[in-house]
Amino acid sequence: MLKKLLMMSLAAFALAACNDEADEGVQYATSNPEIVDGVYSGQTMHFYGTAKVTNTKDNSTYSDPEAWFEIHGDKGLVIYMHQTRFAPDMPGQEMRIYRIPYTGGEGASLTFSAESFIPQAKLPNETGGYDYQDFPQFMLTEIEGTIDGTLFHMAFTCMGTYRMEYEGRLLVKK
């Protein structure tokens, strides 16, 4: 009996030590105070989820289970896609959609869509630093997205070939 109790205690301790949410200082939100009656406050929202990419030419797929998207902005949504990639061998790219208009929904929801949009990528500048610059080579088409409470869904096609479907949940700092 004592041996069982000791083993259960060690197992509980091991599980607590492996809790990534506690180590990283984040947790999933249970509500979204940044969107009220379909109006976005402009405060930064971080979403963590899965990006699934399908190459429409050869039907190959790639999945990133740790995709991190960030949203903020006061004149339209600015959607940051951190270390985004469309294939396993592609280096991660910092990209953003700058000021895409949205339509407010009911409660903590909104939607957005566009036939096409030129994204921006974080690229070297003339002074030796980096800044976001238009990146027409990665033209996005068929863009659609929703935030419904704490859930964020976004889909688009990049370069006419890579169809990305993203599903993420809102994070909050502890």
User: Tens of pLDDT along 118-173?
Assistant: 999 999 999 999 999 999 999 999 999 999 999 999 999 999 999 999 999 999 86
For residue 111, pLDDT over 50 is answered with yes
Q: What is the pLDDT of residue 25?
A: 55
Return the closest-CA partner of residue 98 out of 113, 78, 118.
78
Q: Stretch 61-83: mean pLDDT, rounded?
A: 95
pLDDT surpasses 60 at 2: no
Interacting residues of 18 by C-beta distance below 8 A, sequence separation 6+: none
Which CATH code fits 25-173? 2.40.160
Torsion of CA 163, 168, 173, 174, to 10 degrees: -150
C-alpha torsion sign, points 122, 87, 81, 25: negative
CA dist., res. 168 & res. 67, Å (int):
8
